[in-house]
Structure 1
Amino acid sequence: MTSALETAPTSRQDLNQLVRLRQLLADTGADVRFDSGTRAAYASEASNYRQVPLCVVLPRTIDELVGAVRAANEAQAAVLPRGAGTSMCGQSVNTAVVLDHSMHLNSIVSIDRDRRLAIVEPGVVCDQLNTAAAHHGLAFGPDPATHSRCTLGGMIGNNSCGAHSVRAGKTAENVERLEVLTVDGERFWVGPTDDATYRSHLAAGGRRADIVRALKTLADDYADAIRTGFPTIKRRVSGYSLDQLLPENGFNISRAVVGSEGTCVTVLQAEMRLIERLPARVLVVYGFPDIYLAADAVPQLLPLGAVAMEGLDTGIIGGLRERGLALADIAELPEGSAWLMVEFGAATHAEALAAGERAQALAQDLPGTPTVRLCADEGLIKRLWSIRETGASATSMAINENAADPVVGWEDAAVEPAQLGAYLREFAALVERYGYVTNLYGHFGDGCVHARITFNLKTHEGIAQWRAFLTEAAHLVVRYGGSLSGEHGDGQAKGELLPIMYPPELIEAFRAFKRIWDPHGRMNPGKLIDAHRVDENLRLGPGYRRNTLATHFRYAGSDAPLAFARETERCIGMGKCRSLEGGAMCPSYRATREEAYSTRGRSRLLFEALSGDTLDDGWDNDALKDALDLCLACKSCKTECPTHVDMATYKSEYLAKYYTRNRRPLLDTLIGCLGEWLPHAARASRLFNGVMRNPLARSVAARVGFARSALFPEIAATTFRKTDTAARVLANTAPAPDTHTVLLWTDTFNSHFSPEVLESAVRVLEGAGFHVELLSKHICCGRPYYDAGMLEPAKRNLLDILDALDTVLARKIALVVLEPSCLSVFRDELRSLLPDDDRAQQLAALACTLGELLAKSGTAVPAHPQTEKAYLHGHCHQKACGGMGGETALFARLGIEAKLLLTGCCGMAGAYGYQAKTADVAATIGATEFKPHLDALPADACLITDGFSCRSQALKAGGRKALHLAQFLDPQRSS
C-alpha cells in the first residue's frame, strides 16, 4: 500500500512522516540533504519530466547506502537509486528519497584479467571503467553517447547500450552478477542460478529465500506467455526481462534485474563482463540520398563484422549548419542527405583497414549507390563521432523562440534491422501526418531509432495530439515486431504504453515481478509498471509560464523580457558538464562532484528560481547564490555544452540582479573595480607589495574574504606604461613605408604584473614588420566587473573603450590583445551588452590574439633557434572564444612542433583562486586538471600559455615557469 509520503507531504500525517524520515536518515551518518537547493537541482533529468525529491542522500560507504534505504523504508518513503541523471524517460526523477551514488561510491573494486571480470560500485562512470580496463587490454562493451558521465548503476538500471552494441550487446549481456539490496534491507548476490545456487539461496532463509523461490514460481507460471509474448529482437528493452528467468537462459536473476529502472532493488556492487579491447579503428562513412536507403543498406553490411553502425539524417546536419556549429567536421562527411557511419575494430591497424576497405568497395552495390569515405585518422574519427553523439542535443532548441523545440517525447523504438527501412518510411509518414518535424538517427546496426520531434507539450491541445501520436506510433512498432524502447527504457514516457506491446497476462507478470522485490511499491513508484500517465509531471507542460526579467545582456538575438526564461530552458539535462575527462567543462563539478556545481545543476537552480515552486525565495536563495559563486566563469560551457548553456553570462546577470537587493561584499567590490584602483596602487608598488606580504595586513584581508593561503601577485616596479619601450612606441607616430599598423592593447594584468610580456610583444610585432601603436592612456577591458556582476559600470567602461578606439575602428586596423580574458570581453560581452552599437561588432571583428595575427599575416616571424618543440596550454576563454587555431597554425608555419595539451581549467580564473570561498576548489582544480599534465612534460619543456592566471598557476601548482607566446617569439629571449 502506497504511503502519502511517497507522493507529496501535504497532510499533518505526511509532515510527521517527513520528520520521522529526517530523524532516521540522520542516524545513518550519510550526507543527507533536505534543503530546497539540492532538491531543485535533482528535480529534472534529460527527459520532459520534473519531480522534486523528498531529499537527496549521498552515501559515502555501502553501509551508509544500506542504512539509508532501510531508514526510508521504515519511514514508508519512496526510494529512487539514481545514476548520472541522464535518463530520457523520467525514471531518474521522483518524489522520493533520491540516492546519488556518483559522488562517493565510485570505486573499481577489482579487475580480473584472466576471467575478464570487473567488480565495481554503482557510481563508477563508464569511461572510468574503460580507462582502467584498457591497462589490461580489455574494455567494457556498452558505450552510450553519455559514456563520459553515465554510471554503471544507471546503465544497469536502464539496460543501456550505445553505438558499439552491435559487437558488445546491451548492458544485460555484460553483467555477470549483482549485489542487490531490497527496500526492506535484504542484501545478497544474484546471477545465473543453477540447482546448487538455487539451493544456497533457499538455505539462506528469510526474504532472500522467499524472493528467489517466488521468482522461480513466476518463471514456471508464465513461461509459455514469456516465450510467445516477448519480441525476439536484440534491442528489446521495454518491460522487465522476465525471459532471463527461463531455464534456457540459466534462471539468470541478475540479468532479469537489469533494466528494472530502480523499481525493484538498489544495486550495491556489480560484477561486469569485459571484452578484448580492439585498439585499431577505421570508420567508413556512406552518404545516401535519404535516411531510408541508409536503413535499407544495413542488412548487407551486417555480415562484415562492424563494431558500430550508426545512422544520421540531414535534419541534424542541417540544424548544425544553420547554427554555424561543427562546420569543419561536417565538411569531412561524404556528399549526401543521410549518412551511415560504420566502424571496424581490430588488434592491428592493418586488419581494421582491410575490413574498412572491404566495406568501402561494397558502396556501389548498396541501395542508392552512396558516396563513401574511409577514415583511418584517429582524430578525424573522433570528430565525426562527435557529430553523432552531440548533434541532436546541439539542435534541441529551435532558433525561432516561438517555434516548437525538438524534444524526446518519442525515443529509441527498435525493430529488426531487416525491417528498419520499411519501418522508417511508415514512421516518417506518421510524423508528417501529425504535422510534426523530426530528425532521425540511431543505432541502425541494431534497428534502434532515435527521434527528436517537434511536439507541442505546452498546451492541452498539443498534449492531446501528442498522446494520439504516441498511441499510433506504439502500434506501428508492435506491428513490426519491435520494442517501444530499444535503449532508454520505459520510465514514465513509455510505461503507460506497455499494454500495447504486451498482452494482459504479461503485464500482470510484470506486476508480480515487482511485488516480489518491492511488496509495498516504494521503489521508484510510478515508473515502468503502473506508471504515471505520460503527460503528468511535465517540466514545461501547460502549467508552465515563462516569467519576465529585464536583463543587461541580450540573449539569443532577442531583447524580450522573456529571453532569460528561455535561456533557463536551454539545458536539456544530458549532463556533458559532468564528464570527468576531456575538455574543460565543468571544473567546479570535477573538483567537488556536486550536482549543484555542474553547469546542469546551476541551470536547474536558475530555472527553479525563475519559474519553479521549489525555491520560494527565488533569486535570494542561498543554494543558488552558492552554486553561482562557485562557478569559475571559465566560459567552457558556452562552447563545450551541446546546447551552449552560457553560465558565465548567466552568473554575471544573476549577480547584477542579486546585488540590487543585497549588500555587495567589500572584497567583491575590490575585485570588480580592480581596473580602477590597480593603476593607483602601482604608483606605490613597493609599499603595496610590502603591505600584501605583511601578516597583519593579510589577516585583515582574510576578514573580508581573501584566502589566507593566497598571495596577491606582486605589482611590477616599473609598469609597462613607464617603460622605455612604451615611451618609444608612443613617440613614434609615423609608420614606416610598406608597414601595417596594429594597436597593441595594454591590458591591466600584463601592464601591472608582467610588463615584460607587453615589451616582448612590441619587439615581436616590430620584428614582423608591423608599426605598433598604443592608446594614449591606459583603459582596462573591465573583465573583473563581470565576475562581480557590476554590469552598469561594465557597460559604461565599454562605451569609453569604443570612444577611445573610434579612430582605430575607422582605420580598420587590428587590435592585438595579449590576455585571453580581455579578448573574450571584446568578442563576447561587448556584443551582448551593446548589441545595437555597430562599433561593438567592428571591434569584435578586429580584436585578435598575437598568434592569430601572425599566422594569417604572412610576415616573417622571429623564433628562438634552439626550440624544436613547444607545449601549449589554452586559457579557457581563449578556447571558448576563438580557439587555439591561430597559435597552432603559427607554429606550423615556423616549423616548430607544437603540442596542444589536453589540460582542463587551471583553476585560477581571475580572482577565483584568491577568495576564501573558492580558493580550496581552485587548488583542487589546479592539482587535478592542470598539474598532472605539467608533471608529465619533460623537465626542459617549453610551456606556453597566454593567460596571466594560467602562468601564475603553472608556477604555483606545477612549479613551472610558463611563457606568453610573445615572450617565446621575442628575439631577445635568452636561451
Structure 2
Amino acid sequence: MTSLTEKTPVRHGQTAPMTEFAARLNHELEGEVRFDPASRGRYSTDASIYQVMPVGVVIPRHQEDLGLAMDIARDAGVPILPRGAGTSQCGQTVGEALVIDTTRHLNGIIEFDPEARTVVVEPGVVLDHLNAWLKPYGLWYPVDVSTSAQCTIGGMAGNNSCGSRSIRYGNMVHNVLGLDAILADGHEGHFGFVDELPTSGRMREVADRVREITGRVDSEIRDHFPKVLRRVGGYNLDLFNCQNPKPYDPDGRTNLAHLLVGSEGTLAVTRRITLRLSPLPEHKVLGVVNFPTFYQAMDLTQHIVSLDPAAVELVDRTMIDLSLENPSFRPVIEKALIGQPQAVLLVEFAGDDHEDQLSSLKRLNELMGDLGLPGSVVDMPDAAEQKALWNVRKAGLNIMMSMKGDGKPVSFIEDCAVPLEHLAEYTDKLTEVFHRYGTEGTWYAHASVGTLHVRPILDMQRDGAEKMREIAEAASALVREYKGAYSGEHGDGLSRGEWVAWQFGGTLNDAFREVKRLFDPENLLNPGKIVDTPKMDDDRNFRFPRDYQRIPVTPVFDWSAWNVQRDPLTGEQSVPGTGGDVTHGLAMAVEMCNNNGHCRKFDAGTMCPSYRITRDEQHLTRGRANTLRLVLSGQMGEAGLASDDVKEALDLCVSCKGCKRDCPTGVDMAKFKIEARTARAKARGLSLRDRMIGEMPRYAPWAHRLSGLMDMVERMPVLSRQVKKTLGFAPQRALPAFKGNFLAERHGARAMASKEVVLFVDTFNNYLERDNAKAAKRVLEAAGYQVHLNVIAEQRPLCCGRTYLSSGQFDKARAEARRTLDHLMPFVERGVDIVGLEPSCLLSLRDEFLQYGFGDEAQTLSESAFLFEEFLVKAHAEGELYLPLQPVDYTRAMLHGHCHQKAFDAVRPVEQVLRWIPGLDVELIESSCCGMAGSFGYETEHYEASMKMAELALLPAIRGADEHAVLVADGTSCRHQIHDGSGRHAVHVACLLEQALM
C-alpha cells in the first residue's frame, strides 16, 4: 500500500501536495491551511465506507476567507468540497478536492426574528446548539436528526436531512426559506423566492434556465419522481414542476433555495441559511410498543400513524441486544421492554395540551389491544425518561457499529423509502435477500414514513464488495416494485450516485447534468457526486479495500477481545488463537471508530474535552482514531505508533476515558495513548519529566523530607520558575507537597469485627492528602468493618502503576500491577472487598489490569474492587451498613465527578452517599474533564489547554457557589485544579462523611 508521505500518487490517485497552491492559501488567508499527510488523512473519511484523500484542508476564519479560498482554488483549477461535521453516510464529504471545514469559525447566528419565526445562521452552526439558543423563545428547528449533537445546518441543507419527526414537520427542504451562496465562478447571490428575485442579473438568469430545463422534462418529473415524503436523490427539479409547481412551500411560492437543498455541495457553497422555525411543543408523551415479531411491527405501523403521532421510530432486536451490552444504555432500554420483544416502536405525541397527549397515549394502548397486542405498551409520560430513551435511539448507528470484528453493518441501501402499506412485505423480502447471501440486516429508525435504516453485515476486507453489489440490485428491484425511493434520507454521494439514473431515468439524469453545468461549468464543486459518479463498489475508494493490510505491531496490552469473527446470521462471536492474530486486535479496536462524529458533542458527558476547547479535528477522538488507523495500516510511513504524527494527534488527549463510556462503539483512546507513549518511549527514550512523573511512587516515601527545601524554592519566584522550567512544569502551578506517609504511621488496634475490608491507599492519598485515608478508615470502622491496610512488610506500599502508564513505562506498570494482584488475591479469595479512594488508581484494577494478560485472577480482583462510595452503597443495598450521620456545617454539596468515575458510571454512588447526610442538598456539576488530568495540567505546554478545559463549565459553576456550599471531588487532580482555578478547597467524600459521623 502506498504511503501518504511518498511523492507518488497514493491509493486513491491523489497527487502529492501542491506547494504553490498551498503557499498562496497560506499567504492570503487568515484561517488555517493544512496540507500535511496527517491532516489530509483525517479528512479523507466521513461516516461512510469510503476513503478519498483530499488535496488539502482549509479552515476559514471568517466569510472573507471562504470567498478567497474559492477564488484561489478556481485559479488553480482545484476542486472544492465544503464540509460540516463529516457525518455523511454515503461519502458526500470525501473527495480529491480542497476540503473547506466551516465548523470551527463559521458558526454564528446572524439574524433572528421571533415574530416571523425565522433565523439566519452560518453553515457551521450545530443543530443542538441552535436549538438550545432558541429554546428560551419557545421555538426550535424541527428537522430532528439523530446526529443533532454534532451535525451542522450547512451539512443538513446539503444533504436534505429529514429526522425522526418528519411525519409532523417535513424534511430540510420544507424548512429552508433562503440561502446566501457563492457560485463556482465567484458570483455571490441570494437564493430565495423566485417572485422576489431581480428582473435581471445572474440569479434571474439561473432561475429562468432552471425553469426552462424543468419545463422540457415536466412529464418525466411527474412520472419518475417518487411519490413518498422521503426522497432526496438527484436535484429537486420538481420545485418547478408545472403540475405541482410549489411542492416544498406551504405558502404556495417557488423558492430557488430548494434547488440547492440536497445538492451535496455540487452547485454552490453556502454562506448563510435562512430557516423557518416551529413552536416548541410544551408537552410530549411516549409510548413504547413491544412486538413479538419484527413483521408485526412493520405491518401495524400504518395503523399507528393514524393516531397523528409526531414520531414513530423502530428499534430492532439487534439494537436492543447491543444497547443492553452498553453500560450507558442498559438501564434505559430495560425500562422500555416487556419480555423479549423482537422489535419496539417509539411512538411520540406532542403538543401544547398535556391532557390531549395523555389521551393519545391511551388511544395507542387501546389500538394495540384492538390489533391483538394488549398490554404491549410501556407508557413514558416523564420527560427525563423520554429524553434518555430518545438518546438511545439517536445513538442507533453507533450502537449498530459497536459490533466487534471485521464484519460490520454497511451503509448502501440504508434508507430506501417505500409506502407504509408495503413496509412489512418490503422488509420481509429484503431479509430473505440478506439470508440468500449469508448475512443478516440491522434495522432501526423512521417507521413512520417507511424509511428504515437497514445495514447488511458485510466484511469489506473479504467478499463484502461483491455481496454489496448483488444486494443493492435486489433491493433496487424491490424499491421499484413498491414504487419507493432508492435514496430516502441520506443522499447520493459515492454509494448511491450511480443509482440516480436508475431511479429517475436517462432523460432526467441528462437534466441533472444540465443543471450541474449551469451552476458549475468547470466541474469544480464536489465533483463525482449526483452526476457522473463512480461505481458504488469502486475498490479504490473504500476505506477498507481488498489490499488493506495491518502492519505488524506487538501491542503491550492484550487486545485479543477485539480480534473476533462474527457469524452474521447467528450473531455468535469467536476469538481466534493467540500469536499474530492478537496483534491485529489493536488495529481492530482502533477501527471500531465509524467516523459518525459523536465525539464532537458539547451538550453533556465527558467526551471530548480537547475538542471542546479547540474545535479541531486533530484533537478529537475521531481524528485521533483516523490517525492511528492510517498509521496501523501502513499509510503514513514506517515509524508506526512512535511517529510524530501520532504524538501530535494525542498531545491534548487527557486520557479522561470519556470515550470509553460516551463513544457508543467503545473507542478507548486512553488505552491507545498508553500504547503510543510506550512505543515512543522505547524508540526515543524518556525525558527527565517523564521519569519524575513515572517514578513518583518510588521516591514519594522520602520526598516529604525535602518539603522544607521545596517550600523555600516556592517562596523564591525567580528560582521557582527556573526549577519548574528545567523540569518542564508550568510556573503557575505549585509542585505537589508531600506530607508524610499514612501507611507508615501507627494505627491503633481495634477489636476484631465480623466484617472485613481492605483499604487500598494509593500514592496520592498516602503521601499528599493522608487526611482522606484517615477519614475513610474511620468511616469504615464506624460502619463496623475491620480495615486492612495495604502495607507490605519491608516493602513499598502497593501501587496500581498509573504513573508508569502515563509516562510510557509499561513494563514497570505491569510489574506493579502483578505485585498488587499477588498481595490482594488472598483477601479476594476469602471474600474481602478492596476499597479505594482515588478513582484513577482503584479503577485501574477494573480496567487496565484486565488487559495485562493476568487471566482469571485479574477478572476476579476486578469484581471485588470498589471505590469508597461504591462500597458503601453496595453494603447499604445488602443490608450490611449502619452509618449514623448528623448534619454538617453546609446545606449544599456541589459535586464534580472525576472523569474515570464518569467512565465507569461511578458518580451516582457519590451522590447517593452525600444524600445520606441530613439536610444536605446535592448538586452535580455538569462538566467535562477538569483539565488537570494527572500530570497534564502541570506540564508547561499544556497549562493553557488545562485551564481552558476547566473554564468550560467547572470553574464558572464553582465561582457561582456561595459560602454555604461544600465542594466535593474525589480526584486528587480535580481538587488541585479547583483550588488553582478558583481559590476554593474541595474535599473527598470520605472527609465529609467523617464530619457527619455521630
Please list, as runs of the form range in 1=range in 2, the aligned pairs for 1:577-588 lying within 5 A after superposition. Answer: 577-588=599-610
1:523 Cα deviation from its structure 2 partner: 0.9
Aligned position for 1:472:
474
1:22 Cα deviation from its structure 2 partner: 3.6
Corresponding residue to 2:913 among 887, 890, 896: 890
Corresponding residue to 2:789 among 771, 774, 786: 774
Change in CA separation of 1:886 and 1:21 when aligned onto 2, cut-off 3 Å: closer
Amino acid at match of 1:801: T
Please list, as runs of the form range in 1=range in 2, the aligned pairs for 1:193-592 lying within 5 A after superposition. Answer: 193-194=194-195, 197-198=196-197, 200=198, 202-203=199-200, 205=201, 207-246=202-241, 248-249=245-246, 250-321=253-324, 326-335=329-338, 336-366=341-371, 371-399=376-404, 401=405, 404-459=407-462, 461-536=463-538, 537-557=541-561, 560-592=582-614
Size of the aligned set, in residue pairs, is 950
Change in CA separation of 1:688 and 1:240 when aligned onto 2, cut-off 3 Å: same
1:493 alignment partner, SS class: helix
Aligned position for 2:5:
none
CA deviation vs aligned residue, 1:105-124 (integer Å, no higher than 9, x gap): 11111221001011111110
1:661 Cα deviation from its structure 2 partner: 1.3
Tell whether 2:142 aligns with 1:141.
yes
CA deviation vs aligned residue, 1:423-449 (integer Å, no higher than 9, x gap): 212222222222221111111111111
Amino acid at match of 2:215: D
Tell whether 2:854 aligns with 1:832.
no
Change in CA separation of 1:582 and 1:324 when aligned onto 2, cut-off 3 Å: closer
C-alpha distance in 1 between matches for 2:707 and 2:734: 15
C-alpha distance in 1 between matches for 2:645 and 2:985: 38
TM-score if structure 1 supplies the norm length? 0.93
Aligned position for 1:40:
41
1:709 Cα deviation from its structure 2 partner: 2.3
Corresponding residue to 1:751 among 748, 766, 782: 766
Change in CA separation of 1:516 and 1:693 when aligned onto 2, cut-off 3 Å: farther
Aligned position for 1:940:
964
Amino acid at match of 1:828: D
Please list, as runs of the form range in 1=range in 2, the aligned pairs for 1:773-812 lying within 5 A after superposition. Answer: 773-777=788-792, 778-812=797-831
Tell me, yes or no, if the aligned pair for 2:141 and 2:276 is still in contact at 8 Å.
yes
CA deviation vs aligned residue, 1:532-554 (integer Å, no higher than 9, x gap): 11112000121112223111111
1:610 Cα deviation from its structure 2 partner: 1.2
Change in CA separation of 1:77 and 1:114 when aligned onto 2, cut-off 3 Å: same
C-alpha distance in 2 between matches for 1:599 and 1:68: 28
Tell me, yes or no, if the aligned pair for 1:300 and 1:366 is still in contact at 8 Å.
no
Aligned position for 2:700:
678
C-alpha distance in 2 between matches for 1:175 and 1:267: 13
1:667 Cα deviation from its structure 2 partner: 1.4
Corresponding residue to 1:761 among 776, 798, 802: 776
Please list, as runs of the form range in 1=range in 2, the aligned pairs for 1:115-154 lying within 5 A after superposition. Answer: 115-154=116-155
Change in CA separation of 1:71 and 1:574 when aligned onto 2, cut-off 3 Å: same
Q: Which moved more, 1:884-893 or 1:682-691?
A: 884-893
CA deviation vs aligned residue, 1:793-850 (integer Å, no higher than 9, x gap): 10111112123324323333111101101112111011111342x3322221221111
Q: Which moved more, 1:319-328 or 1:255-264?
A: 319-328
C-alpha distance in 2 between matches for 1:189 and 1:445: 34
1:564 Cα deviation from its structure 2 partner: 1.1
1:780 Cα deviation from its structure 2 partner: 2.8
Q: CA RMSD in A?
A: 2.4
Tell me, yes or no, if the aligned pair for 2:606 and 2:902 is still in contact at 8 Å.
no
2:217 alignment partner, SS class: helix
Amino acid at match of 1:605: T
1:298 Cα deviation from its structure 2 partner: 2.0
C-alpha distance in 1 between matches for 2:848 and 2:181: 51
1:903 Cα deviation from its structure 2 partner: 1.9
TM-score if structure 2 supplies the norm length? 0.91
Amino acid at match of 2:461: K
1:468 Cα deviation from its structure 2 partner: 1.6
Aligned position for 2:567:
none
1:771 Cα deviation from its structure 2 partner: 1.4
Amino acid at match of 2:913: L
Aligned position for 2:730:
707
Tell me, yes or no, if the aligned pair for 2:46 and 2:89 is still in contact at 8 Å.
yes
CA deviation vs aligned residue, 1:392-451 (integer Å, no higher than 9, x gap): 42242544x3x6222223211111223222221222222222222111111111111101
1:450 alignment partner, SS class: strand
Aligned position for 1:736:
752
Change in CA separation of 1:359 and 1:938 when aligned onto 2, cut-off 3 Å: farther
Tell whether 2:988 aligns with 1:964.
yes
Aligned position for 2:874:
856
C-alpha distance in 2 between matches for 1:443 and 1:54: 37
Q: Which moved more, 1:354-363 or 1:111-120?
A: 354-363
2:110 alignment partner, SS class: strand
C-alpha distance in 1 between matches for 2:16 and 2:861: 59
1:220 Cα deviation from its structure 2 partner: 2.3
Tell me, yes or no, if the aligned pair for 2:73 and 2:98 is still in contact at 8 Å.
yes
Q: Which moved more, 1:942-951 or 1:84-93?
A: 942-951
Corresponding residue to 2:838 among 819, 834, 850: 819
Q: Which moved more, 1:754-763 or 1:579-588?
A: 754-763
C-alpha distance in 2 between matches for 1:15 and 1:563: 32
Tell me, yes or no, if the aligned pair for 2:917 and 2:996 is still in contact at 8 Å.
no
C-alpha distance in 1 between matches for 2:118 and 2:708: 63
CA deviation vs aligned residue, 1:175-206 (integer Å, no higher than 9, x gap): 11000111221111111211xx23x1x53x3x
C-alpha distance in 2 between matches for 1:703 and 1:105: 41
Return 5+ residue gaps in structure 2 as ranges.
1-7, 247-252, 564-577
Aligned position for 2:950:
926
Change in CA separation of 1:25 and 1:415 when aligned onto 2, cut-off 3 Å: farther
Return 5+ residue gaps in structure 1 as ranges.
1-6
Change in CA separation of 1:478 and 1:347 when aligned onto 2, cut-off 3 Å: same
Amino acid at match of 1:467: R
Aligned position for 1:659:
681
- Percent identity for Structure 1 against Structure 2: 34
Change in CA separation of 1:881 and 1:170 when aligned onto 2, cut-off 3 Å: same
C-alpha distance in 2 between matches for 1:490 and 1:146: 18
Tell me, yes or no, if the aligned pair for 1:291 and 1:312 is still in contact at 8 Å.
no
Change in CA separation of 1:29 and 1:322 when aligned onto 2, cut-off 3 Å: closer
1:322 Cα deviation from its structure 2 partner: 5.7
CA deviation vs aligned residue, 1:463-516 (integer Å, no higher than 9, x gap): 223212111212211221211122111100101112221111111111111111
Change in CA separation of 1:115 and 1:882 when aligned onto 2, cut-off 3 Å: closer
Tell me, yes or no, if the aligned pair for 2:609 and 2:949 is still in contact at 8 Å.
yes
Change in CA separation of 1:894 and 1:417 when aligned onto 2, cut-off 3 Å: farther
